[in-house]
Structures are given as structure tokens and as C-alpha cells.
Structure 1
Amino acid sequence: MFGRDPWGGALEINATDSATDDDRSRNLQDFDKAALSRNLDETQQSWLLGPTEQKKKKYVDLGCIIVSRKVFKWTVGSIIAAALIAGFVTLIVKTVPKHKHHNPPPDNYTLALRKALMFFNEQRSGKLPKHNNVSWRGNSGLQDGKSDDSTLFKNLVGGYYDAGDAIKFNFPQSFALTMLSWSVIEYPAKYEAAGELSHVKDIIKWGTDYLLKTFNSSADTIDRIVAQVGKGDTSGGPDPNDHYCWVRPEDIDYPRPVTECHSCSDLAAEMAAALASASIVFKDNKVYSQKLVHGARTLFKFAREQRGRYSSGNEAAIFYNSTSYWDEFVWGASWLYYATGNSSYLQLATTPGLAKHAGAFWGGPDYGVLSWDNKLTGAQVLLSRLRLFLSPGYPYEDILSTFHNQTSIVMCSFLPFFTSFNRTKGGLIQLNHGRPQPLQYVVNAAFLATLYSDYLAAADTPGWYCGPNFYSTDVLRGFAQTQIDYILGKNPRKMSYVVGFGNHYPKRVHHRGASVPKNKVKYNCKGGWKWRDSSKPNPNTLVGAMVAGPDKNDGFHDVRTNYNYTEPTLAGNAGLVASLVALSGDRSVGIDKNTIFSAIPPMFPTPPPPPAAWRP
């Protein structure tokens, strides 16, 4: 029998009267164990224990809010701890010495670049700007053009003196400006990194402003241009001139004749190249850029219509004799195409007959040597760029692929594995075959080699073939580095051929302005000869000037009267600047791939004509 257990469980009741006391006692014990082993719910516990007394919480009244005292203590403690930690960290930061992050020092190429650009400041003619930064130079040539009644061009103030004299030759000056512009177009980021971009653009503009004065730049058709200002008579005659006299340009008081030409295709096309390339440099200045483009068009039209060599029958042949004008046609047309996007210039530049006359197919001892006289190699590299990145296709592909292959062969000829050119024992390549003044050719080759290696890198091409052998772009760049390093002092004489770079460099440079002291004494034509013939170092340092260079035996004579060793030139220094900026700085900063193409419209290559109909 079961009954209700008041504690909530079942209770068994034995109804038999025969149960003994022991049995009841045993049952009671079992009951107690069962009852004690069960868990009690809250109601049952409350019956046994009564109501529980809860601990009273303490609060803090903050006025607008009431919070627990415990929470308040934790909050205040956390704020104090955070303040202590912050103060400790601040104390450490202020007391520990600061280590500023310094940019790595500039490499030798950058240091030499800054000096090489200063040479152009030292060669300026005209009224000098306040920021010229050459203490021993002053205004000069302010009467150029005015003193010659035979010329129509009365304002020929400005421009650059060519070398150690005070003659202004437009032919090499234009080439120098083209090379500088080319280097800026390709490497603006490197110029910017060196802090020289505005400087080099100022140098270019000083030259192009002058070139615009040497022809009727506002006209569409012209019949003459200025070729030269000053006279370089080498006969030793009694008449004062820029070669017979040895005076500072600031002290010139003798007449300076102006030489004009009416049939000078080479000069006009080179001037056109200078203005066209500069128009790309100054493309953000639309008014000035268009002025340069218009002048370039006018000059090139004159070059094509009035055929002839500028140096024929005049004294320019003694100093800068031009052997042909066909290479200038290819060179000038290439730059005009890049400056205007007009395909007629590209058609002309890629005409096989023009390339043939320029010497693209016959080779010769000077093939592949870029200079103020021969621009074919420069034009080939320039047009190879077009094929690598834009690939205009038909009808230009045949000659462009030929130029591209020829460029590769020229680059092979620079390498020491081949015997196209001899080298001195010290490693200087003899691009002019042992003749004097070799460095101007070496720097141009170094620029082209570095530039072409950067073209290949930008086109994701690791190298090129020389016959069956493949060479990486590092090999080509290595050639350029060894040649420039030679010029900067890694040569048997341990001499830097750039004035002011390093500790050992030429001190007796063939240069009138640098050799005659600025001492408020005006020397007459012959009075300056004592400074020319002096064995003392120049009183004025011609910073950045690259001299003519050593002979084929690595020999060099630091003698002022021997211009074959010690005279610098505009064309030589322009090539030096171009090669230095190409090699300078971080190698990962390559060429500006697109700026040169900014004027070229989108290309939709014309398909080649269909083959002729088949006939049996």
C-alpha cells in the first residue's frame, strides 16, 4: 500500500499487523536515507530554512547617474592605470635618442650629373639670369647681330658658346639641345630625384629661345638661317677674332660677324630636331610648345626644299664639318613625328631610299657611332622604341624591323666580346679609332646602351641576340658603366676627366673664360696670351666640363694649349649628362614609357594589300 509522502515522494505503508518493531525501525531508516539523498527544490528549501537574507549592495551617487561602488572603483582605477602607462611611454619616447631616417647618399653618377649640368651655366652668352650661380661669369655678347650690317637678324643675344672660345655654332649646339631634351623625355623621374629637373629644363629653354632668334620663326616659309656668330680664323692673321684673341667673353670688343646660310639641309633639320624634341619637354606649356613645333616645321620644310650642306665653302668645315644631310632628315623627321603625331613625318623617316642615303645599309668604320655629325644610330634607336611599344605595323614595319635589327647589331658591337672597336689597355672603347678627343663619342654610346637596355626592360624583354648568343640587358648596362666609370676616374691615370669631380682632374682646361682671371683688368686681344701659355692652373674652375680625353694609350697631358686633350664642348657635355642621368639613382626607376607618344593618335594599322590574283 502506498500513501502520499508530505515531502513529495511516494511512501510505502505496510498494513500487516504482524510487522515487528525491528521491521518498522528498519523501514524508517530506509526512509530517512531516501529522503536525505534527494535534492530539494527552492520551495522545499524555503520551508526548511525560511527566507534568505541578501547582502545589500553599495552605490555611488554621481549626480546624473548612480553606479555601483565596485564598478566605480574599477573604472577610476583603470583610468589612473592608463594615464600612468601613457605617461611612462611618453617619457620613454622623449628621453630615448631619436634616430632620423636618412636617404641614402647620392651615387657617383648623380654627383657627376649635378656638376656636368653646371658647364652649361658657364657657357651661357647674353644677359645672365641671377640664378646662373657662376661667380666668374658675367654678361657678354650683348651686341651679337647688331654689329653686323650684312645680316637681317639684329638680335642674336643669348645661346651658348661652343667650347673654349666664344663662337656660337648652331650645328653642334642644336645637337646638344636635342640630346638634353631626349634625356629629359626618357628620364624625368631621375632628374627629379637628383633635384635637377627644373635646372635642365632651364638650360634647354635658354638654348631654344636663342635658336628661335636665328630664323624667322613666325613664318611658314623661310629662305635663310643663321649658322654661326663669331669668327674662328685659324690662319693667325692680324684681325682680332674669337680664335686669335684670348680674352674673357665679357671683355670682347672686336666685331663678331654673323654667318648665314641659304642651302643648309643638315643644319636646318638638326635645328628642327632640337625644337621638336624640346616641344615635348615643354608640352605642359602649350603656347611655348606650339611655338617650338611651328618653328620645327618651318625649318624642316626649308631643309627639304633648299638642299645642301651648311659647311660647304666656309670656315665651319674646319671645326664642325658635316659629311651628309640624309641622317639629319631621318633624325629630324623622327622627332617631328613624335612632336606632332603627323604620319607624313613617319612615312619620310621610314622611306628605304632615305635610310640608304643615310648609310643604314652599307656600314663603314664609323657605323653605329652617334655624334654631332652622324645621327643615324640615334634615329634607329628612336624608331626602334616606336616598334617596341606601339608596333604601327604596315606600311612601316619593314624598315622599322630593319632599324630594330640594326640597333641590336650596334649594341653587340659595343660589347668587349667582339672586335668591332678597339679598346685601350685601360678599357676605353675607341669609337673614333684612336683619333683625338674620344670621350664625346663614348658618352653618346653609353647613353644609347643604357637607354636601349631600359627599352628592353620596359618591354619585358630580358636581353637580345648577338648571332647565336643571347646577352642580358645587364651586360649592355655594364658596358655603359665601365665606360663612364673610366671617365670619372677608374683609369690607369686615376684621373677624372670631369672637372671638379673627385680629387684629381684637369686643372689647365683649354678655356678662355676659366683661364683669364676676373680681376677688373681688361686684357686686349694679345694681352690674354700670357694666361693661355701659363703653366699655372686655371684661376676659375670650369665645374662639370668633360675635357676631350686621353689618347689611344690612356695618356693625357694637362696642357692648356693642347685642345685635343683639354678642351670641352657643348656636344660632349650633353652626351655626358644624358649618360649620367640614365645610369643614376635607383635602377628600378626606368624610362617614362608614354610621354614621348603623347601627340601620337591611336594607331589602327592599315592591313597590307591582298596578294595579286593567281594566274596559271
Structure 2
Amino acid sequence: MFYVLFLISTALAQLSLPATPYLPPDPSFATQQAPVNLHWSSTLGNLLWFYEAQRSGDLPTTNRVSWRNDSATLDGQDVGVDLSGGYYDAGDYRKYTFPMSFSLMSICWGAITFGKGYDASNQTVYLDDMLRWGLDWLVKAHSSSNTLYVQIGDTNLEDAYWGGDKDIPTPRPSYKIDDSHPGTDAAAQASAAFSACSALYSNIKLSSNSNPASLTNSTYAATLLSHAQQLYSFATNTTQQVYQKAVPSVGEAYASSDYRDELAIAGLFLAVASNSSETYAQATDVYSSSKLSQLITKEGSEQVFNWDSKTPGAAILGAQITKALPSLVSGSPSNVNFTSDAEAYVQIVTGGHGRGAFTDGGLLYYSGDSDEASLNPALNAAMLVAHFTTSVTDPSSANYTHQLAFTQSQLNYVLGNNPMTMPYIVGMHPNSPVNPHSASATGASPQDIANLDTVPAQERYVLYGAVVGGPDKDDKYWDMRSDWVQSEVALDYNAPLLSLVAYTIANETMASQDPWYTRLEVGSYQKVRPKGYPCDAAVRQGCKNRGFSRTGKIVMAVIVTVVGLIVVGMGSYWLFLAYRSGSGTVKA
């Protein structure tokens, strides 16, 4: 029996971490001369390091974040299930399955298409470590075939606490979906995460131009696939509804708008992982019957890709499958053309023709979706375009060059080519944000949530690799700890940038130049930092007497001009009529 257990544990074993671990370099490293890929590799390494700083539970001996402690080790005790471990979602200490599953799916997908980037930068071992920490917890959260825990922690208690990880408030209730309280979207999204990562560990290719990261482990892949299949069955065979109807608590932070997009992308990833044309046909049927195509191919109606909205990703993934795995496609409904839909979406996004428009500084901005965490919609769009460019677009075409330029422009914006001259990655450069909205990194002791911006005056720890929410629609960033709209950190904020940096390292054309932040003048952000306060959902001081934006001023000028012309025209016409009626004499 012991020998059997030994064989199983050996088969499931992850890659061995190096004796000398990668540690984020001092931000001043960004200003030094170094081989091109060394800066890119450091960027990738820092982005992965962030996830280690977000860990919950008993930390391993290989922990690289010296200021983090074992925490929330009794999670799940209230329901008799071990739910310790996993990742804290954002700047506080709650755990949410829905956005975490999306992040894992996104990262595994990127590691399939852009795997060379991880291998070339010697970060594959840390990718493996990061993925397993999340996936192993997700396995625990999926405690039975039709049960999935979707939230750990009390919203009200968490919102009132801003201290370290040793005194996280309790109780930490566990919330689940099951047969009696189903959540189609959450179950399908978790299935998609398991399937995407199973495909990665199975070394399945989605592009003839690239290889997955070197993580092949058939035993672990089979474990993930089993959970994916059970959750997909749960999502498709129980009453279909958004999960906040079953668990209202999750709606306060991560309410889902629909479940059909999750069903579509979950089916596609499961088809890839299980090599099932039947599952592929089910996914295309959902995509077709739900008319998801209209949500990405019609200018002005196209959706973003994020933790809530998966339709653009389904089209891009479908296009990859069509080209790389044609055996799955044969026999499926002919009324679905993923490649055509994906191409239409890419054209809209890269041209800024639809809902998304470019700010003066060049960031793709979706009014509404980008009002909080503005970088995320742009980075996710750039990541999807990178998938399409690598897997589908002809490298000799003008479209390839155009798509490459778009992706690079959004990446460069985040890395410092923006009006704030700031790389929006903590600890990457001396100009990087220094006040991310993170309770653990703030290190306030005792905690003082009433004075978030001043206690302590300087954050005690550097949250290396954390991507912050980003600037407002006018490209302004205040770097305020309390302004969670701009300074929040989260699992899904880092996910697309990981894939984009791996893509860059794998692309010789893009990797031939250092990251944009190496060109920045140290201290230049302080010269352009906005005065006053922002005006957003977190900070209202800047809303008083706030003038029009540049776009608003242009619109107002046009309106005033048009109204003026109408008034002049009407006045002239009245004079003409008066002249005629008075035989040439204007009457008083």
C-alpha cells in the first residue's frame, strides 16, 4: 500500500524548485544595462512572485515572501471540509472561486500558446508552483461531484479590517453551490480552469507556431480532467442560473451577468482536454443558440473579456481549435464560424472602432468596464489578440503587423509609455506605484483603516509584481492607497500581463528591445503626478467642481457651435420673412 501511495505521489509531483530561488531585484535594476531578455525575465518572475505573496494557508518551506505568515489555516472548519490554502483574491483576505478560476484558466491558456516564454526565462518551475497552489485548492473546494465552495470569508468583517495576516478576523464562513443551490457560471468556470490546465499538463498544442510550457505530467492532467468533467456535468445538468442567486454574498463583489458564456468556453476547453468532438459540438450549440456572436462582432456592442464576460475568449479559443485541432470540428454545426467571429472582434478592438476607444495616452478604454481597474480590459484584449496573432493570423500579412503593433502598444502603456511615465507594476522601477491597496503589504500595526493613506506613511513591504488597477480615462493616476479603483491588486489583474510578457519573450521581434520602463527617467512621475484628488467610486473629493474631460470639452464645443449656427440661421430667416412681409421695411 505504501509503495502504491509513493508511486501516486511521485506521478503527481511538481517540478523541483531551484536551490537558489528567484527573488525580485531592487527596482533600480530597471535602470541598469542588462541583456534584453534578463529584464523581460525579471518582469515575468516578478509577476509570478506576486501570486506567492497572495497565498493563504500553511506556507511551504520554499516560501519566497519573507513577510508573509501562515494564515487562515482553519478555513472550512465550519463545514467540516479542509478549505485552507489557495489565494486571497485581492487586497484583503477573502477567497473567491469564480475570479480565481478565471485567472487560472487564463494563465494556463497563455502557457499553452506562449510556453516558450516561460521556458526561455527559467520561470516554468515557478509557473508550475503557482498553478498547483491554486489548482490544488480548487480540488479541495470541489468537495464532491456537485458541490463547489465559492467564497471563504465574511464581507463585512473583512471590509472593516486593514491589518496583517496574523489577525485576520473570524469567523470565516464558507459558501457553496450544490444540487439544491446551483450556480451554472461558477461550476462552468471552475471546469474551464481545470480543463485548460489539464490541456497544459497534457502538452496539447493550440498553435503550430508555438509549444506549451514544459510541464507535462499525465497523472496530474488526468486528475484535473476528472474534476473538469464532473463540474461541466454539474453545470449542464442542474437548474441553470447565475451563482449569486444561490449565494447572495458573492454578488457584493463578483456578481455574474450571465452563465452561457461560461458554458461555451468551458465546453471548448473540455473538448480540447478530453479530445471530444461531442463536447465541442455542445459548446458550439450553446454559442450559437445564445447568439453570443452578436456580443463581439457588432461594433458598439462588443463585450470585454474578464472574470465575468468570456464570450470574446470563446471565439478566440474556437478559432485556435479550428486551425490546430480540426478533428474536433468535423461534424459540428456549420452555422458557427469562430474564426470569422474572432477576426471581426480583433479588427474592432485593434482599430478602436467599437465600445473601446483609445485615451489620449493610448490605452484601450471601455466606458463602464474600464471605470474601475482600467488596465484590465485593455490587457485582456491585447492578450486575446496575441493568441489570435500567434495561432491564426498569417505572419506575412498586413493584419499580422497591425495586430502586433496593437498588442505592443497596450503592453508598452502598462510598462511606462503613458502620460504618468509609470510602469503599473509594483517594485518594477523607481517610478512604480508605491501605495498598492493591499492590507498585507501595508503592514499597519495596529491596523488603522480610518487613516488608510497615512498609517503607515510608507508601506512596510514591497508587493513586487502586483499590477494595480490603473489610471482614469484621462490617463491620470494618483497612487493613493485608499483609492481601490486605481490602486487595487488582484489575481485577475496579473493574469493577462503574465501571458503578454511570455508572448513577448517568445516573439523574437518584440523581445529584441528592452521593456519600456528601462527608458524612463527616475522621478519623472513626481513631476506629472496629478494635483488634488481623483473622482471615482472610492474617492469622491475630486468630483466637486470637476471640469469636463478633453473629450467632453470637444463635445461641448461642437454642441455650442451647432446651436450657435442654428440661432444665427433662424435669426437670418426671420429677418428675411420680416423684410418680405413689410415690402422691404423691417417692422418693429
Q: Same fold (TM over 0.5)?
A: yes
What TM-score results when the alignment is normalised by the length of structure 2? 0.74
Paired position in structure 2 for 1:357 = 290
Paired position in structure 1 for 2:221 = 289
Cα-to-partner distance string for 1:346-400 (whole Å, 9 max, x where unaligned): 110111x543426222557552421111111111111101212343454326245
Paired position in structure 2 for 1:256 = 172
Paired position in structure 2 for 1:606 = none
Amino acid aligned to 2:429 = G
Aligned ranges 1:91-110 → 2 under 5 Å:
104-106=35-37, 108-110=39-41
Paired position in structure 1 for 2:124 = 197
Match of 1:385 among 288, 299, 320: 320
Paired position in structure 2 for 1:398 = 334
Report the Cα offset of residue 305 of structure 1. Answer: 1.8
Instruction: Give the direction of change, closer, same or farther, for the CA distance of 1:366–1:128 in structure 2 (3 Å limit).
Output: farther
**Aligned mates of 2:275, 2:359 — CA distance in 1:** 44
Is residue 2:452 matched to residue 1:516? no
- Maintained 8 Å contact 1:144/1:256: yes
**Aligned mates of 2:255, 2:65 — CA distance in 1:** 32
Unaligned runs of 5+ in 1: 1-101, 234-240, 464-470, 591-616
Largest Rg, 1 or 2: 1
**Aligned mates of 1:589, 1:279 — CA distance in 2:** 29
Cα-to-partner distance string for 1:484-540 (whole Å, 9 max, x where unaligned): 1111111111111110112201111111000015xxx6x4xx656555653722110
Amino acid aligned to 2:43 = A
Is residue 2:403 matched to residue 1:498? no
**Aligned mates of 1:314, 1:280 — CA distance in 2:** 33
**Aligned mates of 1:452, 1:432 — CA distance in 2:** 25
Report the Cα offset of residue 133 of structure 1. Answer: 0.8
Paired position in structure 2 for 1:216 = 143
Is residue 2:243 matched to residue 1:310? yes
**Aligned mates of 2:375, 2:70 — CA distance in 1:** 30
Secondary structure of 1:299's counterpart equals helix
Is residue 2:493 matched to residue 1:572? yes
Report the Cα offset of residue 285 of structure 1. Answer: 2.5
Instruction: Give the direction of change, closer, same or farther, for the CA distance of 1:440–1:589 in structure 2 (3 Å limit).
Output: closer
Amino acid aligned to 2:383 = F
Aligned ranges 1:510-549 → 2 under 5 Å:
510-516=437-443, 523=446, 527=448, 529-530=450-451, 533-534=454-455, 536-549=457-470
Match of 1:456 among 377, 392, 396: 392
**Aligned mates of 2:76, 2:34 — CA distance in 1:** 49
Secondary structure of 1:227's counterpart equals strand
Instruction: Give the direction of change, closer, same or farther, for the CA distance of 1:452–1:546 in structure 2 (3 Å limit).
Output: same
Instruction: Give the direction of change, closer, same or farther, for the CA distance of 1:578–1:366 in structure 2 (3 Å limit).
Output: farther
Cα-to-partner distance string for 1:399-450 (whole Å, 9 max, x where unaligned): 45x2211111111112247455211111111134552211111111111111
Q: Percent sequence identity over matched residues?
A: 28
Unaligned runs of 5+ in 2: 1-32, 203-215, 512-588
Cα-to-partner distance string for 1:533-590 (whole Å, 9 max, x where unaligned): 5372211011010100000001111111110010011011111111111122542799
Paired position in structure 2 for 1:438 = 374
- Maintained 8 Å contact 2:183/2:235: yes
Match of 2:188 among 266, 269, 272: 269
Amino acid aligned to 1:184 = A
Instruction: Give the direction of change, closer, same or farther, for the CA distance of 1:103–1:289 in structure 2 (3 Å limit).
Output: same
Paired position in structure 1 for 2:558 = none
Paired position in structure 1 for 2:99 = 172
Amino acid aligned to 2:292 = G
**Aligned mates of 1:204, 1:226 — CA distance in 2:** 19
Cα-to-partner distance string for 1:255-298 (whole Å, 9 max, x where unaligned): 10111122101000000011111112223323222111111111
**Aligned mates of 1:172, 1:242 — CA distance in 2:** 18
Match of 2:276 among 335, 342, 348: 342
Cα-to-partner distance string for 1:111-137 (whole Å, 9 max, x where unaligned): 322211111010000111222211111
Paired position in structure 1 for 2:471 = 550
Instruction: Give the direction of change, closer, same or farther, for the CA distance of 1:512–1:301 in structure 2 (3 Å limit).
Output: same
**Aligned mates of 1:107, 1:527 — CA distance in 2:** 40
Q: Which moved more, 1:478-487 or 1:273-282?
A: 273-282
**Aligned mates of 2:476, 2:82 — CA distance in 1:** 44
**Aligned mates of 1:409, 1:377 — CA distance in 2:** 10
Amino acid aligned to 2:469 = A
**Aligned mates of 2:341, 2:359 — CA distance in 1:** 26
Is residue 2:21 matched to residue 1:116? no
**Aligned mates of 1:258, 1:183 — CA distance in 2:** 31
**Aligned mates of 1:366, 1:534 — CA distance in 2:** 44
Secondary structure of 2:420's counterpart equals coil
**Aligned mates of 1:252, 1:107 — CA distance in 2:** 38
- Maintained 8 Å contact 1:366/1:432: no
Instruction: Give the direction of change, closer, same or farther, for the CA distance of 1:451–1:354 in structure 2 (3 Å limit).
Output: closer
Q: Which moved more, 1:410-419 or 1:274-283?
A: 410-419
What TM-score results when the alignment is normalised by the length of structure 1? 0.70
Is residue 2:115 matched to residue 1:188? yes
Secondary structure of 1:304's counterpart equals helix
Is residue 2:408 matched to residue 1:474? no
- Maintained 8 Å contact 1:508/1:538: yes
**Aligned mates of 2:454, 2:409 — CA distance in 1:** 35
**Aligned mates of 2:386, 2:139 — CA distance in 1:** 32
- Moved segments of 4+, more than 4 Å: 362-366, 526-533
Paired position in structure 1 for 2:343 = 408
Q: Which moved more, 1:243-252 or 1:553-562?
A: 243-252
Amino acid aligned to 2:113 = E
Paired position in structure 1 for 2:69 = 138
- Maintained 8 Å contact 1:516/1:531: no
- Maintained 8 Å contact 1:246/1:529: no
Report the Cα offset of residue 462 of structure 1. Answer: 3.0
Q: Which moved more, 1:200-209 or 1:581-590?
A: 581-590
- Maintained 8 Å contact 2:120/2:505: no
Amino acid aligned to 1:413 = I
**Aligned mates of 2:295, 2:111 — CA distance in 1:** 32
**Aligned mates of 2:489, 2:260 — CA distance in 1:** 27
Is residue 2:234 matched to residue 1:298? no
Amino acid aligned to 1:536 = A
Report the Cα offset of residue 474 of structure 1. Answer: 1.6
Amino acid aligned to 1:338 = V
**Aligned mates of 1:505, 1:490 — CA distance in 2:** 12
**Aligned mates of 2:128, 2:510 — CA distance in 1:** 20
**Aligned mates of 1:362, 1:196 — CA distance in 2:** 36
Report the Cα offset of residue 345 of structure 1. Answer: 0.8
Secondary structure of 1:164's counterpart equals coil
**Aligned mates of 1:185, 1:198 — CA distance in 2:** 15
Report the Cα offset of residue 188 of structure 1. Answer: 2.0
Amino acid aligned to 1:562 = D
